[in-house]
Amino acid sequence: MRRLNRKKTLNLMKELDAFPKVPESYVETSASGGTVSLIAFTTIAFLTIMEFTVYRDTWMKYEYEVDKDFTSKLRINIDITVAMRCQYVGADVLDLAETMVASADGLIYEPVIFDLSPQQKEWQRMLQLIQSRLQEEHSLQDVIFKSAFKSASTALPPREDNSLQSPDACRIHGHLYVNKVAGNFHITVGKAIPHPRGHAHLAALVSHESYNFSHRIDHLSFGELIPGIINPLDGTEKIASDHNQMFQYFITVVPTKLHTYKISAETHQFSVTERERVINHAAGSHGVSGIFMKYDISSLMVTVTEEHMPFWQFLVRLCGIIGGIFSTTGILHGFGRFVAEVIFCRFRLGSYRSTSVPLPDGHTSNHLPLITDNSAH
């Protein structure tokens, strides 16, 4: 009884077989079929390698939401060199809440030489080249996000030459913590002093002939400092054409949460618009000479997440490639054989077209001659 049930089960499973086996004696091979098979296997191998490359790659997913964090402080990372002596310039931040953050809270004034060494000029040239490529190819930003902490530091390398020239510039570098509202970071003549209605700078003791706000921005970023990330103003250099010149940078800061397979950090991206003009009160161009960076905080927050193709999706795509190529090549091969048979059939019929056969009475017969076994030999 058990053996009968097993036999019925086996027969049922055979009936459910979706892949019937054809005896080898019924299988006919051909040169065309072998050629098509070789092409199909080569295509499958190539596409499988390409699909595996896609599977190993990752991409960045961008999500947007309202930034609800209003109480935290915003960190500003600064590394700017101004072509004036340190005792002549002062830097500070004044925000919309009339809160003043002095440079003494986190900035260092370092006397340096404004002209770069050959190695530093090469670093600046490469950084400017990367900036130009980023403006043309925005997708390169994803590569920078994924390579953060793995690439070399973007900081200005130290001088490799021992120059005996006396310092003629001031490098202002460090970081400040400000309120998360719009503000104005500026570098102008004289040190900043508190004032009941805001703030002021002691510029009366500095002559106008010594004004020179030619500057180089080696680094400017907001939020957590991440090595390898290139910001829009890194490597910027401006040369003043007049003593009384104002440089303005209008910056829009976007809070950004970065989650990759290498790091997880809270940083900020920003876009910038530049403007510069000469201060001439007689011509109606009013203002104060200096470098002014007016920043505003976006109300939206961007979450950038690095994603990877799931393994099951890779298997589905791989099965689709293999099955699709086999089906497509089979259809094309069958269609090609059909066309070839039609063409060869017509060719054979044309070779047996009607011929004239003379008869004994002088007439001719246009009928096709009969093909016998003897004639075939």
Sorted by where each begins, the domain ranges of the chain are 32-59+306-327, 73-254+269-298
Q: For 83, list phi and psi in degrees, rounded to 5.
A: -80, 50
Residue 153 and residue 286: Cα distance in Å, rounded? 40
- For 201, other C-beta atoms within 10 Å of its C-beta total 21
| 91-113 b/e (C-beta count within 10 Å ≥ 16 → b) | bbbbbeeeebbbbeebbebeebb
pLDDT, residue 377, reads 44
- Residue 148 to residues 152, 213, 358: CA-CA distances in angstroms? 9, 33, 95
**Cβ(281)–Cβ(239) below 8 Å:** no
Strand partners, 215: 82, 238
Residue 293 and residue 177: Cα distance in Å, rounded? 15
- Residue 366 to residues 301, 369, 376: CA-CA distances in angstroms? 92, 9, 20
CA 78 from centroid of its chain's CA atoms: 25
Q: For 163, list phi and psi in degrees, rounded to 5.
A: -75, 135
pLDDT, residue 28, reads 67
pLDDT by 10s per residue, the chain, length 377? 666 677 777 777 777 666 666 666 656 667 777 787 888 888 888 988 998 888 888 888 889 999 888 788 889 999 999 999 888 888 888 887 666 666 657 888 999 988 888 888 888 898 888 888 887 777 777 777 777 665 556 677 787 777 777 888 999 999 989 888 888 998 988 777 766 666 767 766 777 777 889 999 999 999 888 877 888 899 899 998 888 899 999 999 999 988 888 778 888 889 999 999 888 877 777 878 889 999 999 989 999 888 888 889 889 988 988 888 888 888 887 887 778 777 877 666 665 555 555 555 555 555 545 444 444 44
pLDDT, residue 372, reads 47
What six digits make up the tokens of 14? Answer: 């055979």
pLDDT, residue 229, reads 82
pLDDT, residue 357, reads 52
